[in-house]
A and B are shown apart, each in its own frame.
Chain A
Protein backbone atom coordinates (compact mmCIF):
# COMPACT_ATOMS: atom_id res chain seq x y z
CA UNK A 1 0.00 0.00 0.00
CA UNK A 2 1.23 3.44 -0.87
CA UNK A 3 -0.15 4.98 2.30
CA UNK A 4 1.95 2.75 4.54
CA UNK A 5 4.76 5.22 5.36
CA UNK A 6 2.29 7.98 6.11
CA UNK A 7 0.26 5.57 8.18
CA UNK A 8 3.34 4.60 10.16
CA UNK A 9 4.18 8.24 10.80
CA UNK A 10 0.67 8.93 12.09
CA UNK A 11 0.88 5.90 14.38
CA UNK A 12 4.19 7.13 15.74
CA UNK A 13 2.70 10.54 16.41
CA UNK A 14 -0.28 9.04 18.20
CA UNK A 15 1.93 6.79 20.33
CA UNK A 16 4.05 9.85 21.11
CA UNK A 17 1.01 11.77 22.34
CA UNK A 18 -0.36 8.97 24.50
CA UNK A 19 3.14 8.21 25.77
CA UNK A 20 3.69 11.85 26.74
CA UNK A 21 0.52 11.97 28.83
CA UNK A 22 1.37 8.60 30.41
CA UNK A 23 4.81 9.96 31.37
CA UNK A 24 3.17 13.07 32.84
CA UNK A 25 0.87 10.80 34.89
CA UNK A 26 3.60 8.44 36.00
CA UNK A 27 6.26 10.97 36.91
CA UNK A 28 4.81 12.31 40.17
CA UNK A 29 4.08 8.78 41.38
CA UNK A 30 7.55 7.56 40.49
CA UNK A 31 9.09 10.66 42.03
CA UNK A 32 7.13 10.07 45.24
CA UNK A 33 8.55 6.56 45.55
CA UNK A 34 12.13 7.59 44.70
CA UNK A 35 12.03 10.59 47.04
CA UNK A 36 10.98 8.29 49.84
CA UNK A 37 14.29 6.47 49.53
CA UNK A 38 16.43 9.60 49.33
CA UNK A 39 18.10 11.31 52.23
CA UNK A 40 17.00 14.80 53.25
CA UNK A 41 20.16 16.21 51.76
CA UNK A 42 19.69 14.45 48.42
CA UNK A 43 16.24 15.96 48.00
CA UNK A 44 17.71 19.45 48.10
CA UNK A 45 20.92 18.85 46.21
CA UNK A 46 19.73 16.49 43.50
CA UNK A 47 15.92 16.70 43.17
CA UNK A 48 15.81 14.91 39.82
CA UNK A 49 18.37 12.17 40.49
CA UNK A 50 18.01 8.65 41.76
CA UNK A 51 18.56 7.87 45.44
CA UNK A 52 22.16 6.89 46.30
CA UNK A 53 21.24 4.12 48.72
CA UNK A 54 18.01 2.20 49.06
CA UNK A 55 17.12 2.33 52.75
CA UNK A 56 13.76 1.97 54.43
CA UNK A 57 14.57 4.40 57.26
CA UNK A 58 12.06 7.00 56.17
CA UNK A 59 9.36 4.35 55.83
CA UNK A 60 9.95 3.39 59.46
CA UNK A 61 9.70 7.01 60.59
CA UNK A 62 6.51 7.53 58.57
CA UNK A 63 4.90 4.35 59.90
CA UNK A 64 5.41 5.71 63.40
CA UNK A 65 2.75 8.38 62.77
CA UNK A 66 0.14 5.65 62.99
CA UNK A 67 -0.40 4.74 59.36
CA UNK A 68 -1.31 1.21 60.41
CA UNK A 69 -4.13 2.51 62.59
CA UNK A 70 -5.35 4.85 59.82
CA UNK A 71 -5.35 2.04 57.32
CA UNK A 72 -7.25 -0.22 59.69
CA UNK A 73 -9.84 2.51 60.28
CA UNK A 74 -10.21 3.05 56.53
CA UNK A 75 -10.73 -0.66 55.98
CA UNK A 76 -13.38 -0.84 58.72
CA UNK A 77 -15.24 2.23 57.50
CA UNK A 78 -15.09 1.27 53.81
CA UNK A 79 -16.14 -2.34 54.34
CA UNK A 80 -18.97 -1.43 56.67
CA UNK A 81 -20.36 1.35 54.50
CA UNK A 82 -20.10 -0.63 51.24
CA UNK A 83 -21.85 -3.61 52.85
CA UNK A 84 -24.74 -1.45 54.03
CA UNK A 85 -24.97 0.36 50.70
CA UNK A 86 -25.15 -2.86 48.67
CA UNK A 87 -27.67 -4.55 50.94
CA UNK A 88 -29.97 -1.58 51.46
CA UNK A 89 -29.83 -0.33 47.85
CA UNK A 90 -30.24 -3.85 46.46
CA UNK A 91 -33.42 -4.51 48.42
CA UNK A 92 -34.87 -1.11 47.66
CA UNK A 93 -34.04 -1.22 43.95
CA UNK A 94 -35.43 -4.75 43.57
CA UNK A 95 -38.68 -3.88 45.30
CA UNK A 96 -39.08 -0.75 43.19
CA UNK A 97 -38.16 -2.45 39.92
CA UNK A 98 -40.72 -5.20 40.53
CA UNK A 99 -43.50 -2.90 41.62
CA UNK A 100 -46.05 -1.17 39.47
CA UNK A 101 -47.44 1.14 42.13
CA UNK A 102 -47.16 4.88 41.75
CA UNK A 103 -46.11 5.21 45.38
CA UNK A 104 -43.01 3.14 44.80
CA UNK A 105 -42.05 5.27 41.80
CA UNK A 106 -42.38 8.35 44.01
CA UNK A 107 -40.18 6.77 46.69
CA UNK A 108 -37.65 6.00 43.99
CA UNK A 109 -37.62 9.60 42.77
CA UNK A 110 -37.13 10.75 46.36
CA UNK A 111 -34.10 8.49 46.86
CA UNK A 112 -32.74 9.56 43.47
CA UNK A 113 -33.08 13.20 44.53
CA UNK A 114 -30.51 12.47 47.23
CA UNK A 115 -27.99 11.85 44.46
CA UNK A 116 -27.96 15.55 43.63
CA UNK A 117 -27.10 16.71 47.15
CA UNK A 118 -23.32 17.07 47.65
CA UNK A 119 -22.09 16.59 51.20
CA UNK A 120 -20.04 19.80 50.82
CA UNK A 121 -23.30 21.75 50.77
CA UNK A 122 -24.79 20.29 53.95
CA UNK A 123 -21.75 19.85 56.20
CA UNK A 124 -22.83 22.46 58.74
CA UNK A 125 -26.02 20.74 59.93
CA UNK A 126 -24.51 17.31 59.30
CA UNK A 127 -21.62 18.14 61.62
CA UNK A 128 -23.98 19.50 64.25
CA UNK A 129 -26.30 16.50 64.06
CA UNK A 130 -23.52 13.94 64.32
CA UNK A 131 -21.90 15.84 67.18
CA UNK A 132 -25.19 16.25 68.98
CA UNK A 133 -25.83 12.52 68.67
CA UNK A 134 -22.37 11.89 70.16
CA UNK A 135 -21.34 10.08 67.01
CA UNK A 136 -18.25 12.13 66.24
CA UNK A 137 -15.05 10.12 66.46
CA UNK A 138 -17.13 7.00 66.01
CA UNK A 139 -16.30 4.78 63.06
CA UNK A 140 -19.74 3.21 63.46
CA UNK A 141 -21.31 6.66 63.13
CA UNK A 142 -19.48 7.73 59.99
CA UNK A 143 -20.27 4.40 58.31
CA UNK A 144 -23.95 5.40 58.24
CA UNK A 145 -23.18 8.85 56.88
CA UNK A 146 -21.09 7.33 54.09
CA UNK A 147 -23.80 4.77 53.42
CA UNK A 148 -26.35 7.54 53.01
CA UNK A 149 -24.31 9.29 50.34
CA UNK A 150 -23.70 6.03 48.46
CA UNK A 151 -27.25 4.69 48.50
CA UNK A 152 -28.90 6.98 45.91
CA UNK A 153 -26.46 6.26 43.10
CA UNK A 154 -26.26 2.55 43.89
CA UNK A 155 -30.05 2.36 43.93
CA UNK A 156 -30.16 3.94 40.46
CA UNK A 157 -27.53 1.47 39.26
CA UNK A 158 -29.31 -1.59 40.68
CA UNK A 159 -32.70 -0.34 39.56
CA UNK A 160 -31.70 -0.30 35.91
CA UNK A 161 -29.95 -3.65 36.36
CA UNK A 162 -33.07 -5.27 37.81
CA UNK A 163 -35.23 -3.74 35.10
CA UNK A 164 -33.11 -5.55 32.52
CA UNK A 165 -32.96 -8.75 34.55
CA UNK A 166 -34.76 -11.52 32.60
CA UNK A 167 -38.18 -11.78 34.17
CA UNK A 168 -38.56 -15.39 32.93
CA UNK A 169 -35.84 -16.58 35.30
CA UNK A 170 -37.80 -15.29 38.25
CA UNK A 171 -40.97 -16.81 36.87
CA UNK A 172 -39.24 -20.13 36.31
CA UNK A 173 -38.01 -20.01 39.91
CA UNK A 174 -41.52 -19.32 41.18
CA UNK A 175 -42.86 -22.29 39.22
CA UNK A 176 -39.98 -24.33 40.63
CA UNK A 177 -41.30 -23.63 44.09
CA UNK A 178 -39.38 -20.55 45.26
CA UNK A 179 -41.09 -18.07 47.57
CA UNK A 180 -40.34 -14.38 46.89
CA UNK A 181 -37.36 -14.31 49.28
CA UNK A 182 -35.98 -17.50 47.78
CA UNK A 183 -36.34 -16.06 44.27
CA UNK A 184 -34.30 -13.07 45.39
CA UNK A 185 -31.58 -14.95 47.24
CA UNK A 186 -31.29 -18.13 45.12
CA UNK A 187 -31.72 -16.76 41.61
CA UNK A 188 -31.50 -12.96 41.45
CA UNK A 189 -28.58 -12.42 43.85
CA UNK A 190 -26.27 -15.12 42.44
CA UNK A 191 -26.72 -13.60 38.99
CA UNK A 192 -26.15 -10.04 40.16
CA UNK A 193 -22.47 -10.68 40.90
CA UNK A 194 -21.04 -8.36 38.25
CA UNK A 195 -23.47 -5.57 39.11
CA UNK A 196 -22.72 -5.92 42.83
CA UNK A 197 -18.97 -5.96 42.20
CA UNK A 198 -19.24 -2.86 40.03
CA UNK A 199 -21.23 -0.95 42.60
CA UNK A 200 -19.00 -2.12 45.46
CA UNK A 201 -15.77 -1.08 43.75
CA UNK A 202 -17.23 2.28 42.82
CA UNK A 203 -18.37 3.06 46.35
CA UNK A 204 -15.21 1.62 47.92
CA UNK A 205 -12.98 3.93 45.89
CA UNK A 206 -15.01 6.96 46.90
CA UNK A 207 -15.34 6.07 50.56
CA UNK A 208 -11.69 5.01 50.87
CA UNK A 209 -10.68 8.44 49.59
CA UNK A 210 -13.38 10.57 51.25
CA UNK A 211 -11.86 13.51 53.07
CA UNK A 212 -14.24 16.28 54.13
CA UNK A 213 -16.58 14.28 56.37
CA UNK A 214 -13.69 12.33 57.85
CA UNK A 215 -11.86 15.60 58.56
CA UNK A 216 -14.84 16.97 60.47
CA UNK A 217 -16.15 13.88 62.17
CA UNK A 218 -12.96 11.94 63.00
CA UNK A 219 -10.57 14.21 64.90
CA UNK A 220 -9.19 11.81 67.48
CA UNK A 221 -5.81 10.46 66.20
CA UNK A 222 -6.72 6.81 66.66
CA UNK A 223 -9.99 7.24 64.74
CA UNK A 224 -8.68 8.95 61.62
CA UNK A 225 -8.93 7.36 58.21
CA UNK A 226 -6.06 7.44 55.74
CA UNK A 227 -6.90 10.66 53.84
CA UNK A 228 -7.08 12.62 57.10
CA UNK A 229 -4.24 10.70 58.67
CA UNK A 230 -1.72 11.38 55.94
CA UNK A 231 -2.36 15.09 56.34
CA UNK A 232 -0.63 14.65 59.68
CA UNK A 233 2.58 13.69 57.85
CA UNK A 234 3.00 17.28 56.74
CA UNK A 235 2.84 18.67 60.24
CA UNK A 236 4.83 15.91 61.85
CA UNK A 237 7.82 16.03 59.50
CA UNK A 238 8.22 19.73 58.77
CA UNK A 239 11.29 19.36 56.63
CA UNK A 240 11.64 15.60 56.56
CA UNK A 241 10.40 15.25 53.00
CA UNK A 242 11.58 11.66 52.55
CA UNK A 243 9.39 10.64 55.50
CA UNK A 244 6.39 12.46 54.02
CA UNK A 245 6.94 10.75 50.69
CA UNK A 246 7.41 7.40 52.38
CA UNK A 247 4.14 7.88 54.25
CA UNK A 248 2.35 8.79 51.03
CA UNK A 249 3.84 5.75 49.32
CA UNK A 250 2.60 3.48 52.10
CA UNK A 251 -0.84 5.09 51.89
CA UNK A 252 -1.24 4.96 48.11
CA UNK A 253 0.59 1.81 47.04
CA UNK A 254 -1.98 -0.69 48.38
CA UNK A 255 -4.84 0.91 46.45
CA UNK A 256 -2.67 1.23 43.34
CA UNK A 257 -1.75 -2.44 43.59
CA UNK A 258 -5.36 -3.49 44.05
CA UNK A 259 -6.24 -1.34 41.07
CA UNK A 260 -3.53 -2.93 38.92
CA UNK A 261 -4.77 -6.40 39.87
CA UNK A 262 -8.44 -5.63 39.27
CA UNK A 263 -8.03 -2.90 36.66
CA UNK A 264 -10.66 -4.35 34.33
CA UNK A 265 -13.33 -4.34 37.04
CA UNK A 266 -12.25 -0.89 38.28
CA UNK A 267 -12.46 0.67 34.87
CA UNK A 268 -15.78 -0.96 34.08
CA UNK A 269 -17.18 0.08 37.42
CA UNK A 270 -16.17 3.73 37.27
CA UNK A 271 -16.99 4.10 33.59
CA UNK A 272 -20.51 3.05 34.58
CA UNK A 273 -21.07 6.56 35.87
CA UNK A 274 -21.40 7.71 32.28
CA UNK A 275 -24.37 5.48 31.59
Chain B
Protein backbone atom coordinates (compact mmCIF):
# COMPACT_ATOMS: atom_id res chain seq x y z
CA UNK B 1 0.00 0.00 0.00
CA UNK B 2 1.24 3.43 -0.77
CA UNK B 3 -0.96 6.40 0.07
CA UNK B 4 -1.09 9.06 -2.58
CA UNK B 5 0.31 12.30 -1.28
CA UNK B 6 -2.62 14.57 -0.52
CA UNK B 7 -0.62 17.25 1.13
CA UNK B 8 1.69 18.86 -1.37
CA UNK B 9 4.27 21.20 0.07
CA UNK B 10 3.05 24.71 -0.43
CA UNK B 11 5.07 26.79 -2.81
CA UNK B 12 4.97 30.02 -0.87
CA UNK B 13 7.31 30.80 1.97
CA UNK B 14 5.29 31.04 5.18
CA UNK B 15 4.73 34.63 6.23
CA UNK B 16 5.22 35.23 9.92
CA UNK B 17 2.25 37.35 10.94
CA UNK B 18 4.20 38.82 13.79
CA UNK B 19 7.65 39.73 12.61
CA UNK B 20 8.68 41.12 15.94
CA UNK B 21 7.48 39.17 18.95
CA UNK B 22 7.79 42.19 21.24
CA UNK B 23 4.67 43.65 19.59
CA UNK B 24 2.68 41.13 21.63
CA UNK B 25 4.10 42.54 24.85
CA UNK B 26 3.23 46.13 23.98
CA UNK B 27 -0.43 46.18 25.11
CA UNK B 28 0.48 44.84 28.53
CA UNK B 29 3.36 47.24 28.80
CA UNK B 30 1.29 50.21 27.68
CA UNK B 31 -1.57 49.57 30.14
CA UNK B 32 0.82 49.00 33.04
CA UNK B 33 2.84 52.10 32.18
CA UNK B 34 -0.17 54.38 32.04
CA UNK B 35 -1.88 53.15 35.20
CA UNK B 36 0.99 51.85 37.35
CA UNK B 37 4.38 53.25 36.43
CA UNK B 38 3.39 56.82 35.61
CA UNK B 39 1.26 57.16 38.79
CA UNK B 40 4.10 55.66 40.82
CA UNK B 41 6.50 58.17 39.34
CA UNK B 42 4.04 61.03 39.89
CA UNK B 43 3.57 59.96 43.51
CA UNK B 44 7.27 60.36 44.13
CA UNK B 45 7.40 63.56 42.08
CA UNK B 46 4.33 65.04 43.78
CA UNK B 47 5.70 64.31 47.24
CA UNK B 48 8.08 67.24 46.82
CA UNK B 49 5.24 69.71 46.24
CA UNK B 50 2.31 71.11 48.15
CA UNK B 51 -0.97 71.19 46.27
CA UNK B 52 -4.70 70.71 46.76
CA UNK B 53 -7.31 68.45 45.26
CA UNK B 54 -8.08 70.63 42.25
CA UNK B 55 -5.44 73.32 42.48
CA UNK B 56 -3.25 74.02 39.49
CA UNK B 57 -0.72 75.67 41.74
CA UNK B 58 2.03 73.26 42.74
CA UNK B 59 4.33 74.79 45.30
CA UNK B 60 7.75 73.11 45.56
CA UNK B 61 8.59 72.30 49.15
CA UNK B 62 11.64 70.06 48.77
CA UNK B 63 11.70 67.51 51.53
CA UNK B 64 9.15 69.54 53.50
CA UNK B 65 6.47 66.85 53.29
CA UNK B 66 8.86 64.22 54.58
CA UNK B 67 9.97 66.44 57.46
CA UNK B 68 6.32 66.97 58.23
CA UNK B 69 5.70 63.24 58.31
CA UNK B 70 8.71 62.76 60.57
CA UNK B 71 7.17 65.19 63.05
CA UNK B 72 3.60 63.96 62.57
CA UNK B 73 2.45 61.77 65.48
CA UNK B 74 -0.45 60.38 63.47
CA UNK B 75 1.90 59.19 60.73
CA UNK B 76 3.88 57.22 63.31
CA UNK B 77 0.67 55.86 64.88
CA UNK B 78 -0.46 54.73 61.43
CA UNK B 79 2.86 53.06 60.71
CA UNK B 80 2.84 51.42 64.15
CA UNK B 81 -0.71 50.17 63.58
CA UNK B 82 0.32 48.67 60.23
CA UNK B 83 3.11 46.83 62.01
CA UNK B 84 0.71 45.64 64.74
CA UNK B 85 -1.66 44.37 62.06
CA UNK B 86 1.19 42.66 60.20
CA UNK B 87 2.54 40.91 63.29
CA UNK B 88 -0.89 40.08 64.68
CA UNK B 89 -2.03 38.73 61.32
CA UNK B 90 1.03 36.54 61.01
CA UNK B 91 0.37 35.07 64.43
CA UNK B 92 -3.38 34.66 63.92
CA UNK B 93 -3.79 33.98 60.21
CA UNK B 94 -0.61 32.07 59.42
CA UNK B 95 -0.52 30.44 62.84
CA UNK B 96 -4.12 29.26 62.97
CA UNK B 97 -4.04 28.63 59.22
CA UNK B 98 -1.09 26.26 59.61
CA UNK B 99 -2.75 24.35 62.44
CA UNK B 100 -6.03 24.06 60.54
CA UNK B 101 -4.22 22.98 57.38
CA UNK B 102 -2.25 20.31 59.24
CA UNK B 103 -5.42 18.98 60.85
CA UNK B 104 -7.25 18.92 57.52
CA UNK B 105 -4.33 17.30 55.72
CA UNK B 106 -3.56 14.36 57.99
CA UNK B 107 -5.38 14.84 61.28
CA UNK B 108 -8.97 14.03 60.38
CA UNK B 109 -10.18 11.22 58.20
CA UNK B 110 -13.32 12.64 56.56
CA UNK B 111 -15.02 15.98 56.01
CA UNK B 112 -11.89 17.76 54.75
CA UNK B 113 -13.66 19.35 51.78
CA UNK B 114 -16.61 20.41 53.94
CA UNK B 115 -14.46 22.24 56.47
CA UNK B 116 -12.19 23.68 53.80
CA UNK B 117 -15.13 25.20 51.96
CA UNK B 118 -16.60 26.78 55.09
CA UNK B 119 -13.35 28.15 56.43
CA UNK B 120 -12.30 29.54 53.06
CA UNK B 121 -15.68 31.15 52.34
CA UNK B 122 -15.11 34.64 53.85
CA UNK B 123 -12.25 35.14 51.40
CA UNK B 124 -14.64 35.60 48.48
CA UNK B 125 -16.80 38.20 50.25
CA UNK B 126 -15.86 41.85 49.77
CA UNK B 127 -14.07 43.42 52.71
CA UNK B 128 -16.74 46.14 52.76
CA UNK B 129 -19.50 43.61 53.35
CA UNK B 130 -17.38 41.87 55.96
CA UNK B 131 -16.77 45.15 57.73
CA UNK B 132 -20.46 46.07 57.63
CA UNK B 133 -21.53 42.72 59.08
CA UNK B 134 -18.98 42.98 61.87
CA UNK B 135 -19.84 46.60 62.47
CA UNK B 136 -23.28 45.46 63.49
CA UNK B 137 -22.08 42.39 65.37
CA UNK B 138 -19.78 44.64 67.43
CA UNK B 139 -22.40 47.38 67.84
CA UNK B 140 -22.77 48.32 71.54
CA UNK B 141 -26.58 48.52 71.30
CA UNK B 142 -27.72 45.70 69.07
CA UNK B 143 -24.56 43.67 68.51
CA UNK B 144 -24.62 39.98 69.31
CA UNK B 145 -21.14 40.06 70.81
CA UNK B 146 -22.50 42.23 73.61
CA UNK B 147 -25.45 39.88 73.99
CA UNK B 148 -23.15 36.86 74.19
CA UNK B 149 -20.78 38.52 76.67
CA UNK B 150 -23.71 39.62 78.83
CA UNK B 151 -25.31 36.18 78.70
CA UNK B 152 -22.21 34.62 80.31
CA UNK B 153 -22.27 37.26 83.02
CA UNK B 154 -19.41 39.52 81.87
CA UNK B 155 -19.72 43.20 81.09
CA UNK B 156 -18.82 44.46 77.63
CA UNK B 157 -16.57 47.56 77.23
CA UNK B 158 -18.52 50.73 78.01
CA UNK B 159 -17.40 52.63 74.91
CA UNK B 160 -18.16 49.72 72.61
CA UNK B 161 -15.81 47.21 70.98
CA UNK B 162 -14.81 49.63 68.27
CA UNK B 163 -15.32 52.80 70.27
CA UNK B 164 -12.70 52.03 72.90
CA UNK B 165 -9.28 53.14 71.55
CA UNK B 166 -7.48 50.48 73.57
CA UNK B 167 -9.57 47.66 72.10
CA UNK B 168 -10.47 48.72 68.58
CA UNK B 169 -7.19 47.74 66.88
CA UNK B 170 -7.50 44.23 68.33
CA UNK B 171 -11.03 43.97 66.98
CA UNK B 172 -9.67 44.87 63.54
CA UNK B 173 -7.24 41.98 63.93
CA UNK B 174 -10.06 39.58 64.81
CA UNK B 175 -12.14 40.60 61.79
CA UNK B 176 -9.11 40.33 59.49
CA UNK B 177 -8.38 36.87 60.88
CA UNK B 178 -12.03 35.91 60.34
CA UNK B 179 -11.72 36.81 56.68
CA UNK B 180 -8.23 35.66 55.73
CA UNK B 181 -7.31 32.68 57.93
CA UNK B 182 -9.09 30.35 55.50
CA UNK B 183 -7.00 31.74 52.66
CA UNK B 184 -3.80 31.02 54.56
CA UNK B 185 -5.09 27.58 55.44
CA UNK B 186 -5.73 26.73 51.81
CA UNK B 187 -2.36 28.11 50.76
CA UNK B 188 -0.56 25.99 53.34
CA UNK B 189 -2.77 22.98 52.67
CA UNK B 190 -1.63 23.07 49.04
CA UNK B 191 1.94 23.04 50.29
CA UNK B 192 1.21 20.13 52.61
CA UNK B 193 -0.40 18.09 49.89
CA UNK B 194 2.66 18.58 47.73
CA UNK B 195 4.78 16.70 50.28
CA UNK B 196 5.20 13.21 48.85
CA UNK B 197 3.64 10.49 50.96
CA UNK B 198 6.72 8.30 50.81
CA UNK B 199 8.51 10.81 53.04
CA UNK B 200 5.97 10.05 55.77
CA UNK B 201 6.31 6.33 55.07
CA UNK B 202 10.07 6.55 55.42
CA UNK B 203 9.65 8.53 58.64
CA UNK B 204 7.19 5.96 59.96
CA UNK B 205 9.75 3.22 59.33
CA UNK B 206 12.23 5.33 61.27
CA UNK B 207 9.71 5.50 64.11
CA UNK B 208 8.54 9.11 63.63
CA UNK B 209 4.79 9.53 63.68
CA UNK B 210 2.24 12.10 64.75
CA UNK B 211 3.71 15.30 66.14
CA UNK B 212 7.26 14.02 65.65
CA UNK B 213 6.60 13.58 61.90
CA UNK B 214 4.98 17.03 61.75
CA UNK B 215 8.05 18.56 63.33
CA UNK B 216 10.75 16.77 61.35
CA UNK B 217 9.04 16.22 57.97
CA UNK B 218 6.14 18.61 57.54
CA UNK B 219 7.56 21.89 58.81
CA UNK B 220 10.90 21.71 56.97
CA UNK B 221 9.15 20.77 53.70
CA UNK B 222 6.75 23.65 54.25
CA UNK B 223 9.40 26.27 54.84
CA UNK B 224 9.04 27.97 51.45
CA UNK B 225 5.24 27.99 51.52
CA UNK B 226 5.27 29.47 55.00
CA UNK B 227 7.69 32.19 53.95
CA UNK B 228 5.40 33.08 51.04
CA UNK B 229 2.34 33.01 53.32
CA UNK B 230 4.05 35.34 55.78
CA UNK B 231 5.08 37.68 52.96
CA UNK B 232 1.56 37.78 51.51
CA UNK B 233 0.18 38.53 54.97
CA UNK B 234 2.81 41.21 55.51
CA UNK B 235 2.07 42.91 52.19
CA UNK B 236 -1.65 42.69 52.91
CA UNK B 237 -1.10 44.16 56.36
CA UNK B 238 0.64 47.21 54.94
CA UNK B 239 -1.88 47.70 52.12
CA UNK B 240 -4.98 47.32 54.32
CA UNK B 241 -7.63 49.94 53.62
CA UNK B 242 -11.20 48.70 52.98
CA UNK B 243 -11.71 46.90 56.27
CA UNK B 244 -10.54 49.77 58.46
CA UNK B 245 -12.12 52.47 56.34
CA UNK B 246 -15.56 50.93 56.87
CA UNK B 247 -15.09 49.55 60.40
CA UNK B 248 -13.57 52.58 62.13
CA UNK B 249 -12.34 55.02 59.47
CA UNK B 250 -9.12 55.19 61.44
CA UNK B 251 -10.85 56.16 64.68
CA UNK B 252 -11.50 56.46 67.48
CA UNK B 253 -8.97 59.30 67.79
CA UNK B 254 -6.63 57.71 65.20
CA UNK B 255 -6.41 54.56 67.29
CA UNK B 256 -6.82 52.40 64.18
CA UNK B 257 -5.29 54.78 61.65
CA UNK B 258 -3.10 52.98 59.10
CA UNK B 259 -1.04 54.30 56.19
CA UNK B 260 -3.81 53.49 53.68
CA UNK B 261 -6.54 55.34 55.52
CA UNK B 262 -4.18 58.16 56.41
CA UNK B 263 -3.23 58.71 52.77
CA UNK B 264 -6.93 58.81 51.92
CA UNK B 265 -7.65 61.19 54.80
CA UNK B 266 -4.86 63.60 53.90
CA UNK B 267 -5.54 63.47 50.17
CA UNK B 268 -9.30 63.48 49.84
CA UNK B 269 -10.66 64.80 53.13
CA UNK B 270 -8.02 67.36 54.11
CA UNK B 271 -6.86 67.84 50.46
CA UNK B 272 -3.17 67.88 51.39
CA UNK B 273 -2.28 66.07 48.20
CA UNK B 274 1.45 66.66 48.39
CA UNK B 275 1.67 65.42 51.94
CA UNK B 276 -0.48 62.41 51.10
CA UNK B 277 2.02 61.60 48.35
CA UNK B 278 4.89 61.67 50.80
CA UNK B 279 3.11 59.19 53.09
CA UNK B 280 2.29 57.12 50.00
CA UNK B 281 5.97 57.03 49.03
CA UNK B 282 6.74 55.41 52.39
CA UNK B 283 4.07 52.78 51.71
CA UNK B 284 5.32 52.36 48.14
CA UNK B 285 8.87 51.76 49.31
CA UNK B 286 7.73 49.13 51.83
CA UNK B 287 5.51 47.40 49.26
CA UNK B 288 8.15 47.36 46.53
CA UNK B 289 10.71 45.89 48.91
CA UNK B 290 8.28 43.18 50.10
CA UNK B 291 7.10 42.45 46.56
CA UNK B 292 10.68 42.03 45.42
CA UNK B 293 11.27 39.69 48.34
CA UNK B 294 8.19 37.64 47.46
CA UNK B 295 9.20 37.20 43.82
CA UNK B 296 12.68 36.22 44.91
CA UNK B 297 11.39 33.60 47.33
CA UNK B 298 8.78 32.13 45.01
CA UNK B 299 11.16 31.92 42.08
CA UNK B 300 13.49 29.77 44.16
CA UNK B 301 10.82 27.21 44.92
Contact = CB atoms under 8 A, between A and B. Distances in A.
A169 interface: no
Contacts of B228: 273-274
Interface string B133-164: 11111000111101110010000000000000
B35 A149 contact: yes
Contact of A114 (B37, B144, B241, B292): B37
Contacts of B15: 179
Contact residues on B (Cβ < 8 Å of other chain), bracket: 35 or more
Interface string B184-215: 00111111000000000000000000000000
Contact of B187 (A17, A92, A273): A273
A152 B280 contact: no
A274 B32 contact: no
A263 interface: yes
Nearest to A116: B291
Contacts of A259: 117, 121, 124
A61 B44 CA distance: 46
B295 A115 contact: yes
Contacts of B137: 28, 31
Contact residues on A (Cβ < 8 Å of other chain), bracket: 35 or more
A244 B284 contact: no
Kindly name the residue among A115, A116, A255 whose own CB sees the greatest number of chain B CB atoms within 10 A. A116
Contact of A121 (B37, B128, B136, B287): B287
Interface in B220-275: 225, 228-229, 232, 235, 238-239, 241-242, 245-246, 259-260, 263-264, 267-268, 273
Given A11-B108, A121-B287, A260 B125 contact: no
Contacts of B39: 122, 125-126, 129
Nearest to B43: A122
B40 to A, nearest CB: 5
A111 B117 contact: no
Given A28-B133, A149-B36, A17 B287 contact: no
A18 B129 contact: no
Given A114-B36, A148-B31, A18 B108 contact: yes
Given A31-B137, A121-B287, A144-B31, A270 B126 contact: no
B246 A231 contact: yes
A145 B118 CA distance: 32
Contacts of B122: 25, 29
A273 B298 CA distance: 10
6 contacts: A48-B151, A113-B288, A116-B288, A125-B42, A151-B31, A179-B15
Given A120-B280, A122-B43, A259-B117, 16 more contacts: A14-B107, A28-B133, A92-B25, A118-B287, A120-B259, A123-B280, A127-B268, A129-B39, A144-B35, A181-B17, A209-B125, A248-B129, A267-B120, A270-B120, A270-B123, A274-B232
List of 8 A-B pairs having minimum Cβ-Cβ separation, nearest first: A116-B291, A148-B35, A125-B42, A209-B126, A95-B24, A122-B39, A92-B28, A121-B284
Interface of B: 7, 14-18, 21-25, 27-29, 31-32, 34-40, 42-43, 46, 96, 99-100, 103-104, 107-109, 111, 113, 115-129, 132-137, 141-144, 146-148, 151, 178, 181-183, 186-191, 225, 228-229, 232, 235, 238-239, 241-242, 245-246, 259-260, 263-264, 267-268, 273, 276-277, 280-281, 283-284, 287-288, 290-292, 295, 298, 301
